[in-house]
Structure 1
Amino acid sequence: MGKTTTSALVQQLLPNSQVLDAEKVGEVLMDIKPGLPVTDNFQHWDPWRPLVIETARRVHEFTGGTLVMPMTVLVESFWREISDGLTKHGIPIRHFVLHADQETLRDRIQNDKVLGPSTFRFAYLEPYAEAARTWLHNDAEVIDTTGITPEQAAQRIADSARGR
């Protein structure tokens, strides 16, 4: 179960909500050639984080409502920069982590019917485990997706966001 699938389901459950996928900001940056240093992860480019914040600010000003922003941020300082920036602009944050154990994650990556097996995603299993151990799970509401459907995960997030 992925962030994109779950975020689309959350949007259906929360009236007046929009999905803003921060990866799209990274895709825009990836199209800038030449100019940005070579990296395997656009989150390491300095413009990405402020652009995510500014994009969210502008979209939120324009649409109001709830922004559902699927993203995996495993570097604590990057998360702090984004969350502090959103807070500074008055955008309330409810931080959820879709968690699964390493075996389940490996199986999902290996058998992904849309993306297929991904060496990029496999490479981030240990950084995820480290972030989960050291800060990520302390900073978020963790939804264990190991034994539930995307619909069930989305319902839990929507219920929590509505204060149920």
Structure 2
Amino acid sequence: MIVWINGTHGAGKTTTSALVQQLMPESRLFDAEKVGETLMDITPGLPATDNFQHWPPWRQLIVETARRVLDYTGGVLVMPMTVLVESYWREISAGLARHAIPVRHFVLHADQETLRRRIAGASPIPSPFRLRYLQPYAEAARTWLHSEAEVVDTTHRTPAEAARQIVAAVRIGAGGDPRRS
């Protein structure tokens, strides 16, 4: 199974995902961004883009890598990764479904003011790259993303609280005992 943790920058994906992995001993953390970084290191470079998700090989390699890791290890992959383009999400989820890999898709959500504050607090200079994704996230949330996932509002939740909520939801869905989380 894959526990996909989506959401924009500042929502808490990285921290929450690490905590989810710790609460689920049968799981491993797979940062799909590393696949994008590998593709960015190809020389000469692939066609120019402002986001490696636009490269079809990234989406295909995410599916194939997840499948191969799960075939090798079993268990659960916890995958923190922002995907805001609906067709990309559909391609990835359909690819995983073709391999009979169940996906629990969660979106960490926070209001825009909270996201801006968190992004600004992450480094001395607010990241234009991270800020650039706030509006596309709001649009995706409004049009498709929130209806495709289980939304966890992190505006007033700590990453630990969000992680416990996700683990409880996964265990209930799998017939497990949510009190174990």
Structure 2 length-normalised TM:
0.87
How has the CA–CA distance of structure 1 residues 157 and 86 changed in structure 2, closer, same or farther, with 3 Å as cutoff? same
Check 1:116–1:24 CA distance in 2 against 1; reply closer, same or farther (3 A cut): farther
Do structure 1's residue 137 and structure 2's residue 131 form an aligned pair?
Answer: no
Q: Structure 1: 5+ residue runs without aligned partners?
A: none
Aligned residue number for residue 6 of structure 1: 16
Q: State the shift of 1:116 in Å.
A: 5.1
Partner residue in 2 for 1:149 = 158
In the alignment, what sits opposite 2:126? 117
CA separation of 1:2/1:123 partners in 2, compared to 1, >3 Å: closer, same or farther?
same
User: SS at 2:28's partner residue?
Assistant: strand
What letter is aligned with 1:29?
A: L
Determine whether 1:162 maps to 2:176.
Answer: no
Look up the match of 2:76.
66
Q: Report the RMSD for the aligned CA atoms in angstroms.
A: 1.2
| Alignment TM-score, normalising by the size of structure 1 | 0.96
Give the C-alpha shift of residue 91 in structure 1.
1.0
CA contact (8 A) 1:109 1:116 kept: no
How much does 1:15 deviate?
2.3
Task: Report the AA paired with residue 130 of structure 2.
Answer: R
Percent identity over paired residues:
70
SS of the aligned residue for 2:56 comes to coil
The residue that corresponds to 2:135 in the other structure is 126
Partner of 1:15: 25
Q: Residue 40 of structure 1 corresponds to which residue in structure 2?
A: 50
Structure number with the bigger relative contact order (C-alpha 8 A, sep ≥ 6) is 2
Q: Secondary structure at the match of 1:67?
A: strand
Residue 109 of structure 1 aligns to which amino acid in structure 2? I
The runs of 5 or more residues in structure 2 that have no matched partner are: 1-10, 173-177
- Counterpart AA for 1:128: Y
Do the aligned residues in 2 keep the contact of 1:7 with 1:68 (CA within 8 Å)?
Answer: yes
